[in-house]
Structure 1
Amino acid sequence: MTSKKTPAPADEIQQLRDTLNDWSYRYYTLDDPSVPDAEYDRAFRRLQELEEAHPDLVTDDSPTQRVGDAPLDAFEEVRHAVPMLSLGNAFNDQELRDFDQRVRERLDVSGPVDYVAEPKLDGLAVSLVYENGRLVRGATRGDGETGEDITANVRTIDSIPLRLRGDNPPTLLEVRGEVVMPHSGFRDLNRRQEEAGHKTFANPRNAAAGSLRQLDSRITAERPLEFYAYSVARLEGEPWPDTHSAMLDRLRELNLRVNGEVRRCRGIDALLDFYNDIQERRERLDYDIDGVVYKVDRFDWQRDLGFVSRAPRWAIAHKFPAQEELTVLNDVDWQVGRTGALTPVAKLEPVQVGGVTVSNATLHNIDEIRRLDIRVGDTVVIYRAGDVIPKVVKTVPERRPDNAREIHLPERCPVCDSEILRADDGVVARCTGGLICGAQRREAIKHFASRRAMDIDGLGDKLVDALVDQELIDNVADLYKLKAEDVAGLERMGEKSAANLMAALEASKHNSLSRFLFALGILQIGEETAKALADCFGDLEAIRHAPLMLFLQVPDVGGEVARAIAAFFAEDHNEKVIDDLLAAGVTPASDGVPSRRFVDALTLAGFLRGAKFLGMPLSGVGDKTLETLGRHYRALDDLLEAVEAGEDDTDTGVKAATLEKLKEGLRADDWLARLRAAEAYAAKLAAKAPAGAADERPLEGETWVLTGTLSRLTRGEAKERLESLGAKVAGSVSKNTARVVAGEAAGSKLAKAEKLGVEVMDEDTFVHFLAGHGIALPEQ
């Protein structure tokens, strides 16, 4: 009788790894366990024994290698190759129907659209990167652009494979998903915490977030965390599927767990059925969800729909109604924000809402307080939706005590004792102290120094507080008057830290104009609006002195934002700070040339519409009439001549009665002077702009895509250079893509470009192209 041959250690180790990975796939991904836990544990212990006996055979993707070694000192920063975007929200059925209608209108589709509906898991969003099938990085979402490297921690989560399933995994896969803590595991964890005399967690989301951000991965390994994949950011080495649902199927094949509740739905009614069904079953699920996410299924339609600001037009989160509780309003504090706006904050008798203890809530503004007739001492209803700041939504009048006190808007700022004024809209109340107000000053300086603004390395919140407390700085311009010896004398600072700060301040003097504008903290001016202003006007001085009506012509700038820009530059103290910054050597980098596209948009028709929007009395004169007159006459004096004639305008077909109303509007207040000022300013900009259509931004309106690895410059550098020429740089190829720049190892984007007939440049051609537009790269 022949005895059975014992396999070699390497063969047995590989066999055990394959078996354990297969069992994990069936357990986590298919939700179909094939063996009892005891059998899995026996195989796992046998693998441990073999690896201990043969340490040279241990690999980092072995099922035994999930727990890290020594704790980290701190998490490393990770820059996401593809930003982790936020979603717009729908809070009721009508808002969801409006979303579906917008999708169909933009796609020009009359029938129902296919969506994928997914539970909105209430955990922590993470990014996982696999190279050739191996997990190489895990990162938190952070601010969407930059997160923290938590690779050691995600490796401890059993439902995250260390190696993808299959013989031919993608060469690169970046998958996005949510880490959650199930209710059962949360209860067990809190029981263990209580028994050990440690602090318990308020809810599963806090427990998951805290566990995932442990510097010691051995602690994370003890926490009951689970992962669910919901999207892919990057895929190379295999074709990109046609639909989101097909992508999720591919993730399942690779042993990446996808939530079992995910469904493909056709049309709005199917989405609402899914929402109502899962909301009814919400309490029976073993994890927290705070709504449903809907995504257009077809990727080509997603690309056509694109994005607005930092949110996709092809997806939306349908939030569940918030949980509400009753409590007592003990008092009201008035907080002053960075822009001087006063916000009433309710001081509440602490109450549990959705597993979180709430003692403060927003009251919005004094008008909302009056509308709801809220008084100190009232019993009030508190509303909390997910991470949304809790708010007071109504009172319970029958429980009002006799000594309830009315709430009044302060006449003086609670921080600096400056006068409080109401804004023109009658809603927002602001402190008039501006940059002298302690609340505004600190926040203004912190914003100015932040990474996306002037990016002054080393100037963190605590140091700003110390500089203000020691009266070393009073506003942002004072930063550039600091001396190293003054800074070195502060707590936790020294000569080296002070020298580094001085160097960072010096370096920040030469930031771009768009960064500088964003850093000023102008109300409602984000990064994109700051870029638009810089691109349109070309330099700081042109923006500082521009009439309000010109701001209305800037792309994506509406009336409220235009007013905020004009009001900021109209304030003497703001102008003084800017003058001090420039005197200190801050030189916002710009080419000094207005955009030809913007200048060409500064027409009389646009100014007339803008004047009407801003309040010029033109009752009975429609926008279409203003457009007709503005297009025909183009210059204000020519239009005035026609208006003064007092008869029907046969050239435009506009009646004399309408022209008389226009004349009355122009004569009212100072509207004629304002229109003249706008026209004159536009003429000055036009004289500085490039002639004809050969704009200084020759790629204006074009969409480019970068793919593969570039050797002469990074993708970020390539993007900056293309944007300086006016191009928009997108992350995916479509029929609207103008060109694709393909570096080494270009994958599916290159294939898509070739399929669509999109022009493709290699790196050498791209560098030559940039040089032809005056952009030379440094020698290697």
Structure 2
Amino acid sequence: MDVEKKINQLREELQQHNYNYYVLDKPEISDYDFDIKLKELQELEEKHPEFADENSPTQRVGGAVTKSFATVVHEFRMYSLSNSYSKEELEDWEKRVKKLVDGKVEYVCELKYDGASISLTYENGQLVRAVTRGDGIQGDDVTNNVKTIRSVPLKLKGDFPEKFHIRGEIVLPYEGFAKMNAERVEAGEEPYANPRNTASGSLKLQDSAEVAKRPLDCLLYNITGENINIKSQFESLQKAREWGFKVPDESELKTSTSAVMDYVNYWDVHRHDLPYETDGVVVKVNSFHQQDELGYTAKSPRWAMAYKFKAEQESTKLNKITYQVGRTGAITPVANLEPVQLAGTVVKRASLHNADQIEKLDIREGDTVFVEKGGEIIPKIVGVDFTKRDPDSKLTKYAQTCPECDTELIRNEGEAAHYCPNYNGCPPQINGRIQHYISRKAMDIEGLGGETVNLLVSEKLIANYADLYTLKKEDVLPLERMADKSAENLINGIEKSKEIPFERVLFALGIRYVGETVAKKLAKHYKNIDALEAASEEDLIAIDEIGERIAWSVADFFASEENRRIVERLKNYGLQMQISAEKLANQTNILEGNTFVISGVFEKVSRNELKKMIEDNGGKVSGSISSKTNYLLAGENMGPSKLAKAEKLGTNLISEDQFLKMLK
């Protein structure tokens, strides 16, 4: 047999044995025989590098070293899920779903595994990229590390699409985690806190050979891409199994939320029998067509809901209440606790939210309190054990002055939080604003992190984000742990941020209540910073979906002479302070004042493209028909109830072709 044929034969055999062992859990040969075959393949590949294949089974052992992980923009955004904690919340979600789609609705129930989210990209049946969730818009390329995970197929089998993405969770099974910790303790090292954080941290290890030593697993649950020819979520899970992915068998198809609750109640008890950490159930509308109809909010899909199992709760002593200052000046009270083990981690601090919450629960220093860790990452205090209260305890008096700059705090009418009004002189606000400015979703300045910002501020090299653009390499080189290359990367990263588009610059400014979505809306409406700066509160309120609170905050930001001066400096340093000519060329106002509802399947343009075209031309897209709807854009298989409602309200019904003619 010639060498190439032998190499290919061994690769196929090993891939099949790997699949049998790690995905099906049905090994057909011993570990020893597997290792002998793997060694034979390694030797042949070393002697014949002309037959190298980056997806060979020999690559599973790792060896590639990644010094810094490249940032990759997700082709399809990775949304987070909305959470529910009761049957009533789930039923409310079902009502919203049935209001927006026609026909019978089926639900897929899947266990919610607690690990590190990952997106795998396959082209022509081969793994080409693995990217962490990151902020949902972009993540880190961790391909070398993910290739070492045995349950991730490097090559697929069957009738897979030419290109697609599959999302899932990298997890660390309890058994493997316990073994790892036993070895660490024996070696005199600190044990890891919990499987989830250990799995997440493993993906960012520089040496993939170290990752290969960890018993990580990968459970897949979501296929996305263009032209994948799959009609439902349940079908997609079956297809993924056929192609070689490890897809949990616990998923079930249900026809009502009462059946969903039976599934939830069963797994709330039996989840402890599983080999992995789970913290709830994900419920998805099964039909992909109905998923398209439902669409997304700014943060989450409308067609999915996470039902979280009851949070873990412990009691401990509250030693002291301290106060933190955020970048907007908002004051957050923090409970400093006697350390307590909760949901796999040691908890020493918990959020107290605001003065109202402290008063409502009558929380006092010295109390024994109940601490809970549910859907939130930060633990919270949910009550006080009054049977253990010291009779001499004193009522909590909320802070009157800023803990950082001693300025008297204010509380606006109708708001829960207290604020420090010393916007340009309070250190945590200065630091926080700059850290927000450089963050991933904002200016994404490579080479600049939170610690470096703190150093730059404390060394008085910068006092606001505009000062970043005056920095020189020789300014930053003397900083602690700043090497020549790091200093160069930092200065280059700052320079590159001048290419960031206007809507992200606007978000980066850190105006209160102006998140990503609002920033896009304002950028699109005003086109440039000068027009926005000149806008009055009344002008801003007149914009669709801009409320009084946002309008006041934007007007208040630009009323400050200091803020206007900083914005002017940013403009002079060459930042993008207007929508690019290229983007403007694709935008008009010809649909302004018109609201569209999109329903059905379209031939020439996808639903997402239609939505973008409407918004780019000044129109608005709504999920449901009302008296404010001007047009129902109807495709094939449109639901009869939408049609009936449109006819009843006298809404204009237009086809895909008619819509495209409107734009011409």
Cα 1:409/1:316, change in 2 over 3 Å: same
What is the correspondence of 1:510-549 to structure 2 with a 5 Å cutoff? 512-549=501-538
Work out the CA distance in 1 between the residues paired with 2:571 and 2:41: 69
Residue among 60, 66, 69 paired with 2:60: 66
- The aligned residue for residue 714 of structure 1 is none
Work out the CA distance in 2 between the residues paired with 1:360 and 1:563: 34
What is the DSSP-based 3-state SS (H/G/I as helix, E as strand, rest coil) of the residue aligned with 2:96? Answer: helix
Kept in 1, the 8 Å contact 2:135–2:441? The answer is no
Kept in 1, the 8 Å contact 2:501–2:580? The answer is no
Work out the CA distance in 2 between the residues paired with 1:459 and 1:231: 34
- The aligned residue for residue 250 of structure 2 is 261
* Counterpart AA for 1:132: N
- The aligned residue for residue 401 of structure 2 is 412
- The aligned residue for residue 200 of structure 1 is 191
Q: Do residues 351 (structure 1) and 340 (structure 2) align?
A: yes
Work out the CA distance in 1 between the residues paired with 2:619 and 2:225: 22
Residue among 71, 74, 88 paired with 1:80: 74
- The aligned residue for residue 91 of structure 1 is 85
Kept in 2, the 8 Å contact 1:700–1:725? The answer is no
Q: Give, in angstroms, the shift of residue 221 of structure 1.
A: 1.4
Residue among 206, 219, 224 paired with 1:215: 206
Give aligned pairs, total. 624
- The aligned residue for residue 641 of structure 2 is none
Q: Do residues 321 (structure 1) and 314 (structure 2) align?
A: no
Kept in 1, the 8 Å contact 2:320–2:335? The answer is yes
Work out the CA distance in 2 between the residues paired with 1:542 and 1:53: 67
- The aligned residue for residue 112 of structure 2 is 120
Work out the CA distance in 2 between the residues paired with 1:190 and 1:458: 33
What is the correspondence of 1:735-746 to structure 2 with a 5 Å cutoff? none
- The aligned residue for residue 145 of structure 1 is 137
Cα 1:552/1:68, change in 2 over 3 Å: same
- The aligned residue for residue 131 of structure 1 is 123
Work out the CA distance in 1 between the residues paired with 2:540 and 2:110: 41
Residue among 148, 157, 174 paired with 2:165: 174
Percent sequence identity is 39
Q: Give, in angstroms, the shift of residue 45 of structure 1.
A: 1.4
Work out the CA distance in 2 between the residues paired with 1:12 and 1:481: 61
Work out the CA distance in 2 between the residues paired with 1:569 and 1:551: 13
What is the correspondence of 1:709-748 to structure 2 with a 5 Å cutoff? none
* Counterpart AA for 1:66: R
Work out the CA distance in 2 between the residues paired with 1:577 and 1:303: 43
Q: Give, in angstroms, the shift of residue 533 of structure 1.
A: 1.2
Moved more, 559-568 or 63-72: 559-568
Cα 1:191/1:501, change in 2 over 3 Å: closer
Work out the CA distance in 2 between the residues paired with 1:515 and 1:202: 36
Q: Give, in angstroms, the shift of residue 133 of structure 1.
A: 1.4
Q: Do residues 304 (structure 1) and 296 (structure 2) align?
A: no
Work out the CA distance in 1 between the residues paired with 2:191 and 2:363: 35
- The aligned residue for residue 160 of structure 1 is 152
What is the correspondence of 1:766-777 to structure 2 with a 5 Å cutoff? none
Residue among 331, 338, 359 paired with 1:370: 359
- The aligned residue for residue 438 of structure 1 is 427
- The aligned residue for residue 329 of structure 2 is 340
Work out the CA distance in 2 between the residues paired with 1:74 and 1:507: 18
Q: Do residues 224 (structure 1) and 218 (structure 2) align?
A: no
Q: Deviations over 1:121-142 (max 9, x none)?
A: 0011111122211222222111
Structure label with greater radius of gyration: 1
* Counterpart AA for 2:330: A
What TM-score do you get using the length of structure 1 for normalisation? 0.72
Q: Deviations over 1:510-564 (max 9, x none)?
A: 7544233212211121121111112223333443343434333323333443343
Q: Which has the higher contact order (CA 8 A, sep 6+)?
A: 2
Q: Give, in angstroms, the shift of residue 95 of structure 1.
A: 1.0
Kept in 1, the 8 Å contact 2:64–2:144? The answer is no
Cα 1:557/1:303, change in 2 over 3 Å: same
Work out the CA distance in 1 between the residues paired with 2:211 and 2:41: 26
Q: Give, in angstroms, the shift of residue 163 of structure 1.
A: 1.1
Residue among 557, 560, 563 paired with 1:568: 557
Cα 1:450/1:182, change in 2 over 3 Å: closer
What TM-score do you get using the length of structure 2 for normalisation? 0.84
Q: What stretches of structure 1 of length at least 5 have no aligned partner?
A: 1-6, 596-688, 709-718, 730-734, 739-755, 760-765, 774-780
Q: Do residues 425 (structure 1) and 390 (structure 2) align?
A: no
What is the DSSP-based 3-state SS (H/G/I as helix, E as strand, rest coil) of the residue aligned with 1:436? Answer: coil
Q: Deviations over 1:458-496 (max 9, x none)?
A: 443333222211223322344445566544554455888
Cα 1:50/1:22, change in 2 over 3 Å: closer
* Counterpart AA for 2:195: P
Cα 1:494/1:313, change in 2 over 3 Å: same
Cα 1:505/1:213, change in 2 over 3 Å: closer
Kept in 2, the 8 Å contact 1:103–1:313? The answer is yes
* Counterpart AA for 2:117: A
Kept in 1, the 8 Å contact 2:529–2:578? The answer is no
Residue among 386, 395, 399 paired with 1:397: 386
Cα 1:23/1:215, change in 2 over 3 Å: same
Q: Deviations over 1:213-250 (max 9, x none)?
A: 221112211111111110112255xx421111111111
Structure 1 vs Structure 2 CA RMSD: 3.9
What is the correspondence of 1:571-586 to structure 2 with a 5 Å cutoff? 571=560, 573-578=562-567, 581=570
* Counterpart AA for 1:74: S
* Counterpart AA for 1:427: A
Work out the CA distance in 1 between the residues paired with 2:317 and 2:112: 32
